[in-house]
Structure 1
Amino acid sequence: MIRCLLLCAAFYATTPFLTAAHAAEDSASSKPNIVVIFIDDLGYADIGPFGATKQKTPHLERMRREGMKLTSFYGAPVCSVSRAQLLTGCYGPRVSIPGVLFPQGPTGLNPTELTIAERLGPLGYATACIGKWHLGDQKQFLPTAQGFDHYFGIPYSNDMQRVAKGGDAPVVPLLRDDKVAELLTDDQQSRIVERYTDEATRFIREHKDGPFFLYFPHTAVHTPIFPGEAFRGKSDNGRFGDWVEEVDWSVGQVLETLEEAGLDEKTLVLFTSDNGPWLIKGADGGSAEPLRGGKGSTWEGGVRVPTLARWPGKIAPGSVCDAVSGTIDLLPTFVCLAGGELPDRPEIDGRDLSEVLLGNSAQSPREAHYYFSNYQLEAVRQGPWKLAVAAQRETMGRGVSRDAKEGGRLYNLDQEIGERTNLAEQYPEIVAKLGRLADQMEAELGGDAPAARRPAGEVANPTPLYPMEARKPKPKASGKKPVALNETVRPEVLSAR
């Protein structure tokens, strides 16, 4: 807490105050607006600043020129976990969100967990969540029950479609606050980026006197892929590239709205993704090159995500930082920049990134980064060194490669970002050091007897958001054993833990 207060004091010292009569007003206006643009399944190499060439992303290139490129920023292997981490500042297992939540599930983010919105609201922030939520679709788990003033979006993945009662086509619900406003068919999903963007820019204009926190988690570019009509066929990378280009357009609309409202220098905009690309989707799945692996894995390609931060006058233009950081660090960073403070309890895994973003440090504020797959700790990173302590599958839907069946593998990510050369025999002292860190974290959060895991929220009798047709019986299995998926953690499995 003391460190955060000192950093915040240094930040506010850079903001001039006018007169005592204007002190209260100036104090409020000095709090930065915060916008988090969170993309779904966007790979490390899917935007121009990180190497994409087949789809054009000029607005993200602008963010890179005018802000910071974070090259070692981490999400989580799958959707719900990464969202829980971003909003609570904790690893998914700490808050018992280890995998993907499903519609009408009994489990969600526990209402006792304090989200970024709940931390910033008392500091005078207007808050809104626009887009994909995916932390439980029961009323007590929705954004408006977790500190957000308003919500507009699809509450889970856009492929979690069901046929509504009396209907003949699969749909997903579009919510406004905690009520279903519409049921969207596939064709109607093609306007979802446009509609989210209209809501987001309207929120910015309506709250231009600030401060505000806009959490903008896109449905794109999760499959099924539905680029808007104006973007179809525009890229050189099929419909996937088209949807990336529409996401880039949306970023441009946000930046333009901030500029028109005179909020550029008052607003921190952070762009990132929840996890790596869904590689088994082929042309619809994106790229993590030169990283190894994809969505559902704890290889770098599954969890290291393309990230940009822009704040004119505060973040140096054209800067690049390779310090280890991630979604768990956003909550403490935003609270500090807003002039707040965090109590010592409950435990938060993230650390304040203010010094990194403001260019005062190139060092990670965390001792290490931990890679969980569900409740299993699979790897730990400190500096350039990454120790895999368990087997790692390549990506969701694929098994474990021959060179990854055992733990105890050591990689130097500065020397070889692709994680192919095991250096454990050459550096036994580093293996031992990182192994001790892994053992400590495993005892704290992993396995069947964790010392510091907090419970998820649970509902006794979950109800659907809209009346649905009964599911047709599934055809009998072929007898072949399917490949296990990191993606899938059914609600009944979660609630049994």
Structure 2
Amino acid sequence: MSQLGFKSILNRFSFLCKMVCFSVLASPSLKVTELQAEEANTLPNVVIVFTDDQGYADLGCFGAEGFETPHIDQLAADGRIFTNFYVAQAVCSASRAALLSGCYPNRIGIRGALGPGRKDGINPEETLLPEIFKQRGYSTAHFGKWHLGDAPEFLPTRHGFDEYFGIPYSNDMWPKHPTAGDRYPPLPLIEDEKVVELNPDQSQLTKRYTEHAIDFIERNQKQPFFLYLAHSMPHVPIFASEKFAGTTERGLYGDVISEIDWSVGQIQETLKRLQLDQNTIVIFTSDNGPWLSYGPHGGSAHPLREGKGTAWEGGVRVPCVMSWPGHIPSGTTCHELAATIDILPTLTGIVGADLPEEKIDGLNILPLLLDEPEARTPHEVYYYYWVNELHAVRSGPWKLHFPHSYRHVLVHGEEGLPGKQNYPKTELELYNLDEDISESHNVLDQHPEIVQKLKKYADAARADLGDQLQKVQGANVRGLKLTK
């Protein structure tokens, strides 16, 4: 047996022993002794860092040019890179809903990006990730962008988070955006449920979110905690604090990513200082691909096709790094398909909590995290939706696009302004992503049997979740909550 295989078995045995311990501690019939309370502290802490519009190639370990990300790269060296990691839609609200619910956003009625003053938002009947952690006695906090409804009943503190500090929707939804006109009210900065500032200085947001995150970790070091840090950057308009402005060859965009990398470094340093790093799962990823029309103020999805707002790989495949010392093997890479919808069921299994009673779409990818021998993606098929339209399906390396229009940049913008774009239409097209990651060679005619197989998967998706392109209503779609 190889050394790696033996190490994998030892790690798995250790993990299973902890799971048995967690299950015993969860039994309400047992008296909690001091020893049991001490053992309960072995429940892993969880930190999710979720950036906004950061492209596939916008990390050093994913080939970034013009700036460096040493702290995130170290996280990758200590853990595992995921090269086939997906969001559920290439747009803000839908992507966040998928991460926190474990569902395709179409299933729970969240599509696109919710604007300020909407009368709807995340349904309280949906079980979100912080509510899963609350089952096991975790402290929970969200700092950064929320975007699942800005009315009081939709805010994070009403959905499982003990604390919140951030903005309720995208940072471009404010009066100062050059293309906003008079569409938006002042952008609120909210602490828990109170507006503490209007139109905050966005150059300080990354720093302020980070300071709140560090304070939360320090205050909860004696108990398990879940920290969801959803940076507003690098979504336009982009800003960097004085310490980072003008420090990279890539210009302001590189400065912004450099500050996000600093933020990750601050969190890692705090975990190490408090001797929590060995018992903390850290996940770093992005909500969708780059907003290409903003040119130098947007990121890069190289070598993927297109970006944000599309079902091409550049819109939905994002960089992902995960670390969990002693469990996730260091310096490894996973090429199997995994997705944000898998985070909830995977973490639920790790901490020994109950899955939501309502149907979810994510699957447990723990074997991929642990790099178990012969571990493969649990997804037989993966769906690519844009709002209510089914644009593509994937199974194995094969991705079938259905006829649809998509945004394509003709001329990149400058100085924070969007460029020109049009909406060409793709026809029925088949790509082998293992051989053609850039989706540049349509092999539809060479593989008719694959096409028929993927069409059947699409029919099942339409019956389940709907498809506006085919005018099909999904049978298993749940709705948003309306304000009172």
- Shift in Å at residue 394 of structure 1? 4.2
Counterpart of 2:320 (choices 278, 303, 307) is 307
- With 201-210 and 278-287 compared, the bigger mean Cα shift is at 201-210
Q: Work out whether residues 79 and 332 of structure 2, in 8 Å CA contact, stay in contact via their aligned partners in 1.
A: yes
TM alignment of 1:225-304, pairs within 5 A: 225-304=238-317
* In 1, Cα distance between equivalents of 2:162 and 2:447: 52
Q: Does 1:224 align with 2:234?
A: no
Q: Does 1:60 align with 2:72?
A: yes
- Shift in Å at residue 443 of structure 1? 1.3
SS of equivalent residue, structure 2 residue 50: strand
Give me the CA root mean square deviation. Answer: 2.1
AA at the equivalent of 1:212 = F
- Shift in Å at residue 406 of structure 1? 1.5
Q: Does 1:440 align with 2:440?
A: no
Q: Work out whether residues 19 and 351 of structure 2, in 8 Å CA contact, stay in contact via their aligned partners in 1.
A: no
- Shift in Å at residue 8 of structure 1? 9.8
- Shift in Å at residue 400 of structure 1? 3.9
* In 1, Cα distance between equivalents of 2:65 and 2:93: 29
Q: Which runs of 5+ in 1 are unaligned?
A: 1-6, 164-168, 461-497
Q: Work out whether residues 253 and 297 of structure 2, in 8 Å CA contact, stay in contact via their aligned partners in 1.
A: yes
- With 170-179 and 203-212 compared, the bigger mean Cα shift is at 170-179
- Shift in Å at residue 162 of structure 1? 3.5
Q: Assess, with a 3 A threshold, how the Cα gap between structure 1 residues 326 and 195 changes in structure 2: closer, same or farther.
A: same
- With 273-282 and 364-373 compared, the bigger mean Cα shift is at 364-373
AA at the equivalent of 1:178 = E
AA at the equivalent of 2:93 = S
Counterpart of 1:213 (choices 198, 220, 226) is 226
Q: Does 1:46 align with 2:58?
A: yes
Q: What does residue 130 of structure 1 align with? A: 143
Counterpart of 1:406 (choices 407, 421, 427) is 427
Q: Does 1:177 align with 2:198?
A: no
Q: Does 1:329 align with 2:342?
A: yes
Q: Work out whether residues 132 and 348 of structure 2, in 8 Å CA contact, stay in contact via their aligned partners in 1.
A: yes
Structure 1-normalised TM-score?
0.85
- Shift in Å at residue 25 of structure 1? 1.9
Q: Which runs of 5+ in 2 are unaligned?
A: 1-10, 26-31, 177-183, 410-419
- Shift in Å at residue 362 of structure 1? 3.3
Structure 2-normalised TM-score?
0.88
SS of equivalent residue, structure 1 residue 425: helix
Counterpart of 1:371 (choices 384, 393, 412) is 384
Q: Assess, with a 3 A threshold, how the Cα gap between structure 1 residues 392 and 44 changes in structure 2: closer, same or farther.
A: farther
* In 2, Cα distance between equivalents of 1:30 and 1:392: 50
TM alignment of 1:157-176, pairs within 5 A: 157-162=170-175, 171-176=186-191
- CA-to-aligned-CA distance 1:73-113 (integer Å, 9 cap, x gap): 11121000000000000001000111110000112111111
Q: Work out whether residues 148 and 155 of structure 2, in 8 Å CA contact, stay in contact via their aligned partners in 1.
A: yes
Q: Work out whether residues 391 and 400 of structure 1, in 8 Å CA contact, stay in contact via their aligned partners in 2.
A: no
- CA-to-aligned-CA distance 1:108-146 (integer Å, 9 cap, x gap): 111111100111102111000000000100001100011
- Shift in Å at residue 405 of structure 1? 2.4
SS of equivalent residue, structure 1 residue 231: coil
- CA-to-aligned-CA distance 1:316-370 (integer Å, 9 cap, x gap): 1111001111111111111111111325x41100011111101115311122111
Q: Work out whether residues 462 and 473 of structure 2, in 8 Å CA contact, stay in contact via their aligned partners in 1.
A: no
- Shift in Å at residue 210 of structure 1? 2.1
- Shift in Å at residue 23 of structure 1? 4.8
Identical columns (%): 46
Q: Work out whether residues 19 and 352 of structure 2, in 8 Å CA contact, stay in contact via their aligned partners in 1.
A: no
SS of equivalent residue, structure 1 residue 158: coil
Q: What does residue 15 of structure 2 align with? A: 11
Moved over 4 A (4+): 7-10, 14-17, 19-23, 394-397
* In 1, Cα distance between equivalents of 2:19 and 2:381: 33
AA at the equivalent of 2:190 = L
